[in-house]
Structure 1
Amino acid sequence: MAAAARRRDVSCLLLLLCFSSSMAAGGGGGGGGEQEADRVARLPGQPASPAVSQFAGYVGVDERHGRALFYWFFEAQASPAPEKKPLLLWLNGGPGCSSIGYGAASELGPLRVARQGAALEFNQYGWNKEANLLFLESPVGVGFSYTNTSSDLSNLNDDFVAEDAYSFLVNWFKRFPQYKDNEFYISGESYAGHYVPQLADLVYERNKDKRASTYINLKGFIVGNPLTDDYYDSKGLAEYAWSHAVVSDQVYERIKKTCNFKNSNWTDDCNAAMNIIFSQYNQIDIYNIYAPKCLLNSTSASSPDRAFFANNQEQFRWRVKMFSGYDPCYSSYAEDYFNKHDVQEAFHANASGLLPGKWQVCSDQILNSYNFSVLSILPIYSKLIKAGLRVWLYSSGDADGRVPVISSRYCVEALGLPIKTDWQSWYLDKQVAGRFVEYHGMTMVTVRGAGHLVPLNKPAEGLMLINAFLHGEKLPTSR
């Protein structure tokens, strides 16, 4: 017991030293040395070309509690120089899922984890072609982000997350002052449908004193397959499952009879009916219902000897290739890669192996302890649209069962915005890439054939989408 206590004391001391360093770097006046200390020369298994300018490290957000958030930043590749391009922050949801493991390394970053987690490969559709990309592991307890105060993990809620993310931005801009005046946009997906608008709202409120040193040049936000409003999200999930033959007519009728989704506390009968939907999704991938489910042995997720549980391994791999390169096991590959010691060392992460357990793409602990206190984000939409921010929402056209396009359409329609441009197709390579509708103050876009993670399933369409958003342009409406 004494030895264990000594190890805990040493760990806490080292974490405090690490946190103090991150606070000093975050609070530095000129960035310079602290910024260069975060530069990542090259990650293990990274392709030699093209060159990628990247930084990673910790930024302190609460000195008293010892909280620090981990980031991965890529400078824009396209001309003009990075300092002239917008800065785009990306957040993943969950709550409890890593923006490093999902957004950066599996979806829209320039370096994606290759199969089996052995190396990285260059992503020709990386969004850093259009913007400087900043990925943040938030809240504390997610990925490499940490706290010295364990009670923080039981106090997490939307307000807590927004305040920490805001503190991160203020301190990050001190470390990277060359981006302080750039156009700034916030983006994310899934439960970041809460994080993104709430952070935008907090930045907007703190920006009211334009002379303050903490002023951030916020121009807008974009969210993908976002959880937005409990009532519409739940109603749409049930309708989608029925309309896509996941459940029978009888089950759907039972849901309509027993479920009042306007009540956040479902009855036992409603829970039982909805559980039928989720039991069906145990057999397929709820996030992309037309893709194969990952059959990787979860008990050996970090083993190089793992195998797909399929009757015909080659047939299964062939099926995977059919879905625009979609690989349902990508999160396991990310965990293999980011748990390597040499990767963490090159990445400036998890110094001395102080984080409890292994790095995870998603934390069950955070999900299970998170305090869900906000039922609807729609009032924030109305407020920020009136404030003149650019607001876009995109959704998979037909394949995401978790936050289906039906839910998003209900949410957007509830805002009561007048239509500017009617529902119409947009194109890529002479094919329909999806549909969109422009409202006065907001645009909603669908991406045909994508699942929950649009940049992963439809990377070319995702790049065209973010390009149009950042430039405030309409998507192409002719072949």
Structure 2
Amino acid sequence: MKRSVIAYLLILCLLVSCNNGGTKTVRSYSDGSEAWGYVEVRPKAHMFWWHYKSPYRVEDPSKPWPIILWLQGGPGASGVGIGNFQEVGPLDTFLKPRNSTWLKKADLLFVDSPVGSGYSFVEENQKDLYVKSDEEAAKDLTKLLQQLFNKNHTLNQSPLFIVAESYGGKIAVKLGLSVFDSVQSGKLKLHLGGVVLGDSWISPEDFVLSWGPLLNYVSRLDDKGLDLSNSLAEKIRKQIKNDEYVQATQTWMELENVISSKSNSVDFYNFLLDSEMDPVSLTTSEIKKENIIIKKYSRYLNDLRSSSDVDEGDLDTLMNGVIKKKLKIIPKDLRWGNNSGDVFTAMEGDFMRPTIEGVDELLAKGIDVTIYNGQLDVICSTSGTEAWVRKLKWEGIEEYKKIEREPLYCENDKATRGFTKSYKNLHFYWILGAGHFVPVDEPCVALKMVGEITKSPQL
């Protein structure tokens, strides 16, 4: 989490909005396949967005094609970089087509949020303009959505699904509530399809309490390590209870160090691996070479792959090299990813604050909430997620608990790839064989899941 630490728009609308409300959009291809730009969400605070129109888009008036807004974790990680090129976008870090891209099920809107993440920036390095809370981050995102959606009829008729990973889930909850209120008040024109929480940091207390027992059970911690972990987790629990969130964040860092030391550097994103071994980046072995796949994504390739900058497949090199050149509007002195630590520090006081009540509010308002979790994740473990779900006060939670899970399969594969269950507007997916980065570890079943969530029309 702390480590490695739209919207396609009609040309006419783009030209109008470029000079209105702080929105700056530089390019839209004639077929509307992608667009990107900045929105000044507050004076001197600029948020970057990048939207891909799906080549698989099906026009069906009775079932509009969905749009996914992807929110990265951190806080301070870049959705435009990580979510896009390492997880679900059309191209990987070698700029080769990704066969498992979520464009097969929806349009994709990536943002660098909060401001200071990725390509988003504040003018004159005014760090006091960084947000201090999830609610402030959600307000900025709501402003961005207003600029992108309100003036485009085609866009605001498509259901928007807010999909978040890791810490992004906390912000997604606040954003879902903000979007709902803004739509109700007439300030925002869009249809909210749902909020999707992937391995999300909703209840820090439940997660840290799960770490010791989980790692002891899978033999990464011995009993002494378990005792040390449980002791620090209990300290965090008390600090959270006393609203000592900055202190809880500091103890959380201490707990991570203890676990790393006593487990011989277990990977917090996948307990089967050692630290720094998680396969966040998709390799070329996952890419199918059929001509149809290349053709589908050639609109995003242009002449990018002719650059020597992509040979290594390194995300930092890619984002500060060929991608920055392609986008043209990134400030010359801005280095992608440099300010992520400042974003985390600014939000230190909110980092350990739980957001369970916000999930309850979403459910009570009738908003679809989907939770998915990778079996092998540690930092946002499945057992920790199940613990906070049991704390929900939503009126349907008791009936939800009684529902039997159904197995998940992928295409013609008979192997069990996960489980799922739903009651009313609450849905849960258990993804087997995956760590923190579900779309990377289990791309096939993740894509199937997204299709079920968005109900995207298919040919």
| Superposition TM-score, scaled by structure 2 size | 0.78
Unpaired segments of 5 or more residues in structure 1? 1-20, 42-50, 115-119, 297-316, 474-479
Deviation at 1:104, TM superposition (A): 0.7
Aligned to 1:190: 166
C-alpha deviation, 1:147, in angstroms: 1.3
- 2:35 is matched with 55
Percent identity of the aligned residues?
Answer: 22
Counterparts of 1:71 and 1:143, CA distance in 2:
10
Moved more, 237-246 or 69-78: 237-246
Which residue is 2:51 aligned to?
73
Corresponding residue SS for 2:363: helix
Matches of 2:312 and 2:356, distance apart in 1: 31
**Aligned equivalent of 1:442, options 406, 415, 426:** 426
> How many Å separate the matches in 2 of 1:279 and 1:337?
33
SS in 2 for 1:469: helix
> How far apart in 2 are the matches of 1:360 and 1:376?
26
Q: Distance in 2 between matches of 1:278 and 1:197?
A: 30
Indicate conservation of the 8 Å contact 1:60/1:69, yes or no: yes
Is residue 2:317 matched to residue 1:336?
Answer: yes
Alpha-carbon distance, 1:73 to partner:
0.7
Q: Residue 239 of structure 1 aligns with which residue?
A: 213
Matches of 1:281 and 1:157, distance apart in 2: 32
Matched-pair contact (CA < 8 Å) for 1:182–1:217: yes
Does residue 126 (structure 1) correspond to residue 101 (structure 2)? The answer is yes
Further displaced range: 433-442 or 460-469:
433-442
Q: 2:200 is matched by which residue type in structure 1?
A: P
Matched, 1:407 2:400: no
Cα distance in 1, alignment partners of residues 101 and 251 from structure 2: 46
SS at match of 2:271: coil
Q: Whose radius of gyration is greater, 1 or 2?
A: 1
Task: Name 1:38's counterpart in structure 2.
Answer: 27
The change in CA–CA distance for 1:266 and 1:105 in structure 2 (over 3 A counts) is closer
Mark the CA change 1:270 to 1:295 in structure 2 (over 3 Å): closer, same or farther. closer
Per the alignment, residue 199 of structure 1 pairs with 175
Distance 1:52 1:110, change over 3 A: farther
Residues matched between the structures, number: 400
Q: Distance in 1 between matches of 2:201 and 2:163?
A: 13
In structure 2, the CA distance between the partners of 1:348 and 1:85, relative to structure 1 (3 Å rule), is farther
Of the three residues 166, 173, 196, the one matched with 1:222 is: 196
How far apart are residue 231 of structure 1 and its match?
A: 1.5
Tell which deviates more after alignment, 226-235 or 242-251: 242-251
Matched, 1:458 2:442: yes
**Amino acid in structure 2 at the alignment position of 1:393:** I
Further displaced range: 411-420 or 380-389: 411-420
For 1:268 and 1:167, locate their aligned partners in 2 and report how far apart those are by CA, in whole Å: 32
Aligned to 1:147: 122
Partner residue of 1:170 out of 146, 159, 182? 146
In structure 1, which of residues 259, 262, 273 is the aligned counterpart of residue 237 of structure 2? 262
TM-score (norm 1): 0.74
Q: Of 357, 371, 379, which aligns to 1:379? A: 357
Supply the distance in 1 between the matched residues of 2:273 and 2:286 (Cα, whole angstroms): 10
423 and 463 in structure 1: CA distance in 2 versus 1, 3 angstrom threshold = same
Structure 2 residue 69 is matched with structure 1 residue 94: no
**Partner secondary structure for residue 325 of structure 2:** helix
Task: Tell me which of 284, 287, 290 is aligned to 2:269.
Answer: 287
Matches within 5 A, 1:307-456: 333-340=314-321, 342-351=322-331, 353-355=332-334, 358-360=335-337, 363-373=340-350, 375-397=353-375, 399-415=376-392, 417=397, 418-419=399-400, 421-428=403-410, 429-456=413-440
For 2:44, the aligned partner's letter is: G
Structure 2 CA distance, aligned partners of 1:269 and 1:415? Answer: 26
Report deviation, 1:406.
1.0
After superposition, the Cα gap between the structure-2 partners of 1:266 and 1:179, relative to the gap in structure 1 and judged at 3 Å, is: closer
Distance 2:409 2:18 in 1: 45
Task: Give the Cα separation in 1 of the matches to 2:341 and 2:269.
Answer: 18
Instruction: Check the 8 A contact 1:26/1:172 in 2, yes or no.
Output: no
Task: Name the CA distance, whole Å, in 2 between partners of 1:186 and 1:430.
Answer: 31
Could you say which residue in structure 2 is the equivalent of 1:470? 454
Q: Hey, what's the Cα distance between the residues in 2 that align with 1:282 and 1:141?
A: 33
Task: Give me the whole-angstrom Cα distance separating, in 2, the residues matched to 1:214 and 1:52.
Answer: 23
Q: Pick closer, same or farther for the CA change 1:331–1:227 going to 2, 3 Å.
A: farther
- Asked if the contact 1:246/1:277 (under 8 Å) is kept, the reply is no
Q: 1:293 to 1:364 in 2, by over 3 A?
A: same
> Tell me, which stretches of 5 or more residues in structure 2 are unaligned?
1-13, 241-246, 288-310
Q: State whether structure 2 residue 27 is matched by structure 1 residue 25.
A: no
- The CA deviation string for residues 357-404 of structure 1, in whole angstroms up to 9 with x for no partner, is x2128822222332433621111111111111111000001x212111
| Equivalent in the alignment of 1:11 | none
